[in-house]
Chain A
Amino acid sequence: MFDRHLLKNFDYQLFLLVLLICAYGLLVLSSATRGVAGDDPFFYVRKQAIWIAIGFGLMLLVVSINYLQFYRVSWYLYAANLVFLGAVLFVGKEGVGAYRWIDLKFFDFQPSELAKIIIIITLARLLADIEEEKPKNLAVMFPFLIHVFIPMLLIFLQPDLGTALVFIALLFGMLYMAGFPWKNLLALAGAGLAVSPLLWLRLHDYQKLRLLVFLNPDLDPLRYGYQLKQSMIAIGSGGLVGKGLYQGSQARLQFLPAQHTDFIFSVLGEECGFVGALVLLVLYFFLIYRILKIGSLSKDHFGAFICVGVATMILFQVLVNVGMVLSIMPVTGLPLPFMSYGGNSLLLNMLSIGLVLNVGIRRHKIQF
């Protein structure tokens, strides 16, 4: 099944970029978590390193299966996805006021992370199946909307607003690339804005507070407001070159309750400064660029759409996470890809990159 000739098209640049970001993440993580776990100062680093290793294994596994196989089983994936997301609402494990995890004993499985890649694959198939001329027609959009809204609703019910928003980004990114006219997309966005007040009413008070607190941290001075202020102090005090790794005073005091997960970027900003943050953002830029590049070389639309989906997902998460830490975006609790501590998000991102690499190595129709 796996042809050695395929390796010729393996995108080493993309692979290397992921490796670099992961290594960078481990370094910052080791600073963010020092002393937290008591006796073992490397408790989190070790666990994250194991996830990274497993993630690379998974990535290579995905690369070895022809991505067209995913096209074939896409409906089964979609069904399984709904089952997982439904199950989590019933047997889910609670954490921070939401039901997001299913306890698999060795691993707290978070179906909403897996849902992202499944929606990318299945939506890519749906889009690849329509004929060239069709996108012009406004009614053609509806199946795609329903396709995305069902899992999104289930995630919204957990409640996990941040992840639900990723789906909206995916929908727009992929519909756009499929050639839907601008005016159709704008109409869709307009309709979305029109129903958003209804959505607002369905939000829990703490969710509303999180969405608004970046506009005025004093709305919630004891929790998110405090967190944001401390995050800004951390980043701002980092200056051009930072205080040096392990030297951040904000990080040492554990001012940021989620500094190894959602707020890892503020530790980076404090200790490595503007230069350190710039390096990371440049790495992300090239990562997204390579993914889009591979997509543009794909032999079929299905592969191209997968790449666009993955690029959209990573771009959106970087924007929302860094924007949150810099206090220009609402607090939604999305992890920073390959940087934030946590097995689910890491494995999902690795899987996504695996798919992109897969599209890349099988870009020619005939291989010798």
Chain B
Amino acid sequence: MDKKMLQRTRIFIYLVIVIFIVLLLRLAFLQVYRYEYYWARAEKNRLRILPITAPRGEIFARDGEQLVTNRPGFTVSLVDLGQGYNENTITYLSRLLAMDEAEIWQKIDSQFYRRYLPVRLKTDVSMETVSKIAERRLEYPGVLIEVQPIRNYVHGKFLAHVLGYMGEGVVPPWVEEHWEETGYEYQQGEPVGQAGLELAWEPLLRGEDGGIQVEVNSTGQAIGEFERVEPKPGHDLYLTIDASLQLVVEEALNETVEDLMAGNNRYAGEAAAVVLDPRCGAILAMADTPVYNPNTFSEDFPILEQDPHRPLVNKVIEEHYPVGSTFKMVTAMAALQEGAITKEGRVFCGGTITRYNATKSCFRGTVHGSLNILQALQRSCNIFFYEMGLRVGVDTLAHYCREFGFGSPVGLTDIFGEKKGIVASREFKRNLYQEAWYPAETMDAAIGQSFHSITPLQLANYTAMVANGGIHYRPYLVEKVVDCEGNLVMVAEPEVLHKMEVEQAHWETIQQGMSLVTTPGGTGARMADFPVKVAAKTGTAQVVGRDGSIPAHSLFVAYAPFEEPEIALAVFIKHGEDWRGSTSLPVARKILEAYFQIPTD
């Protein structure tokens, strides 16, 4: 090594010496000069961090009605004062809080890495428990009462499936992955949204926890506050839901289902309805029955789980059903656009039709005579649509189903879990039964029977598409997001997912047909006296049962006002078509009355 390098090596070593001396001086300062001070602080080192849970964002309806808020609740926690945890204290708490000692120890163990934080044992304890602990504070050091926000669903079961609920459980793995990708960190074991908006909007609803760095005394009470970091409350959601309309929908569904069940219809018990704005996709009301009460979800869970009508399932999006004749606008559009019939073209209904060795009859054996497409829709003639189905074929029919948004989720992302449903097609049958499609089955498919299975949301979206001339808007529930200071974080923008390319005149034809449904002679003639002109379609979805006497599902879709549609709706009453006739129509009528503020008679 040359001389210059040797010299530089020497300088390097001097630098090392200087650095080490600096470090040693600092060490000496802390360990020798300031020893007493730090020794005293370590001796009574009870510097702890008490986390302050951020209040979760609140949820409001479009009219400002408060739906979800937070109320203060008491949480019992245990803090390590430096001597570990006292067996007596644990025994005492286990009795007082009705928890197993093992459970308490497990909670303590799960926080081993962060022992300077209190261990939360039980949230939302009663005032009585709090006063008992306060009385015996000196006997059981380290027991802490914290005030934490508890989620409060103001109207109990109202809008429950949309709102969701909170729990300390885990979230579905795909949600967790999604959050990881978007950089949202959530702590296992902390309360987290479990369904509905609470789950899907968790990252925005949850705020940022704060905390206090405090010194606690020998009984665990905070003495003198040190540093405090205020929690950041979560963002508030303002929904597209019209609370008063939603209330009408929920009450109508509940009454209907209760009536059916009281009338010895042992199949009834579930129903769903959705109201959309066909001009943008905003969901004004979205209800189903039965639901859970999010305030008491965990206590009720064992019962909810057993309920045959599945209150845990949001039937508007997570369930799909046969929809019967409400399907016929699909066949009508396929036939018109593919040239299988014109607006004036007529078909003769003699009550039955026999093709491909299969004889099928019109609904309850009715004979309609000669009718055009408008009359066929008005009276829901099966023979007419069997004929149309055969003229266009199953593949074309399936294509139009997909055009109308069937067979895949319609795009609601404000809550998770939307099902795709089923479109009757050759592929579907082949995959299910490994069997070829029979031409006669095309007839069933053309009137909404066969394998078709559609979610109530898909049905409402399809009705909205008929109303607005084929535009598929993404349905949405959250109108805007506002932060805790009132700043706008996000405003919903209508999003067109698909636009059907068909002749404008065909829309008008189908719309006209639907408007005739609510006139005398139409299947919805009970709406004839309604002051606003309503376009609608009835549906009766037969369900094949062993004894054949199972009541059909009752369906009703509608939009109004006919000339300038503002709302589109779908009502589904499971097994709701018994000897009394349609039960979905009265529900739809109540919804329309509420929306147009028409006094009921």
Contact = CB atoms under 8 A, between A and B. Distances in A.
Interface of A: 35-36, 38, 94, 97, 173, 176-177, 179, 218, 221-222, 225-226, 229-230, 232-240, 249-250, 253-255, 257, 269-270, 273-274, 277-278, 281, 284-285, 288-289, 292, 295-298, 304, 308, 311, 315, 319, 322-323, 326, 328
Contacts of A273: 31
B137 interface: no
15 contacts: A173-B12, A177-B5, A221-B227, A222-B51, A236-B31, A239-B31, A239-B32, A249-B45, A249-B82, A250-B42, A254-B116, A255-B116, A274-B32, A277-B27, A315-B16
B80 A240 contact: no
B109 A38 contact: yes
Given A218-B227, A274-B32, A176 B8 contact: yes
B35 A239 contact: yes
B579 to A, nearest CB: 62
A236 B13 contact: no
A132 B313 CA distance: 79
B30 A236 contact: yes
B116 A253 contact: yes
Given A233-B38, A254-B114, A281 B5 contact: no
A222 B51 CA distance: 9
Contacts of B34: 236
A315 B9 contact: no
B213 interface: yes
Contact of A250 (B27, B45, B112, B228): B45
Nearest to A177: B8
Contact of B27 (A255, A274, A304, A319): A274
Contacts of B20: 281, 284-285
Nearest to A314: B16
Contact of B115 (A235, A254, A296, A323): A254
Contact of B24 (A221, A239, A278, A308): A278
Given A240-B35, A296-B6, A235 B27 contact: yes
Contacts of A235: 27, 30-31, 38
A324 to B, nearest CB: 11
A25 to B, nearest CB: 17
Interface in B238-263: none
A289 B16 contact: yes
Contacts of A288: 16
Nearest to B111: A254
A225 B227 contact: yes
Contact of A289 (B13, B28, B213): B13
Contacts of B30: 232, 235-236, 269, 326
Interface in B1-31: 1, 4-6, 8-9, 12-13, 16-17, 19-20, 22-24, 26-28, 30-31
B226 A257 contact: no
Contacts of A277: 27, 31
Nearest to B52: A222
Contacts of B37: 236
B38 A285 contact: no
Interface string B208-221: 00110100000000
Contacts of A221: 211, 213, 226-229
| A94, A238, A269 — most chain B CB neighbours (10 Å) | A238
Given A177-B5, A281-B20, A226 B213 contact: yes
A287 to B, nearest CB: 10
B305 interface: no
A319 B19 contact: yes
Nearest to B22: A328
A255 B45 CA distance: 10
Contact of A253 (B26, B82, B227): B82
B1 A297 contact: yes
Contact of A328 (B9, B26, B43, B49): B26
Contacts of B402: none
A110 B268 CA distance: 61
Contacts of B226: 221
Contacts of A233: 38, 41-42, 45, 47
B517 to A, nearest CB: 57
A221 B30 CA distance: 21
Given A292-B13, A296-B9, A237 B39 contact: yes
B250 to A, nearest CB: 43
A240 B36 CA distance: 11
B113 interface: yes
Contact of A179 (B4, B24, B80, B112): B4
B31 A274 contact: yes
B180 interface: yes
Nearest to A231: B30
A283 B121 CA distance: 47
A322 B23 contact: yes
A296 B27 contact: no
Contacts of B28: 274
B5 A254 contact: no
B454 to A, nearest CB: 41
A10 to B, nearest CB: 20
Contacts of A238: 31
A323 B23 contact: yes
B211 A222 contact: yes
Contacts of B49: 222, 226
B111 to A, nearest CB: 10
Contacts of A322: 23
B41 A237 contact: yes
A280 to B, nearest CB: 10
A222 B4 contact: no
B35 A237 contact: yes
B42 A253 contact: no
Contacts of A179: 4-5, 8
Nearest to B6: A296
Contacts of A94: 180
Nearest to A248: B42
Contacts of A278: 24, 27
A250 B30 CA distance: 15
A267 to B, nearest CB: 13
A272 to B, nearest CB: 10
Nearest to B227: A221
A282 B496 CA distance: 71
A221 B116 CA distance: 13
Contacts of B109: 38
Of B17, B20, B82, the most chain A CB neighbours within 10 A belong to B20
Contacts of B6: 296
A155 to B, nearest CB: 20
Nearest to A307: B9
Q: Nearest 4 CB-CB pairs, A to B? A: A236-B38, A221-B227, A237-B42, A274-B31
Contacts of B31: 235-236, 238-240, 269, 273-274, 277
A222 B32 CA distance: 28
A274 B38 CA distance: 14
Given A176-B8, A218-B227, A304-B5, A232 B38 contact: yes
A297 B2 CA distance: 10
B236 to A, nearest CB: 24
Nearest to A36: B112
B227 A319 contact: no
A296 B116 contact: no
Nearest to A254: B115
A254 B113 contact: yes
Contacts of A36: 112-113
A225 B212 CA distance: 12
A73 B82 CA distance: 56
B41 A257 contact: no
Given A36-B112, A226-B116, 15 more contacts: A36-B113, A179-B4, A233-B41, A233-B42, A236-B37, A237-B39, A237-B42, A239-B32, A240-B31, A253-B80, A253-B115, A269-B30, A274-B32, A277-B27, A328-B26
A281 B24 contact: yes
B32 A240 contact: yes
Interface in B176-202: 180, 185
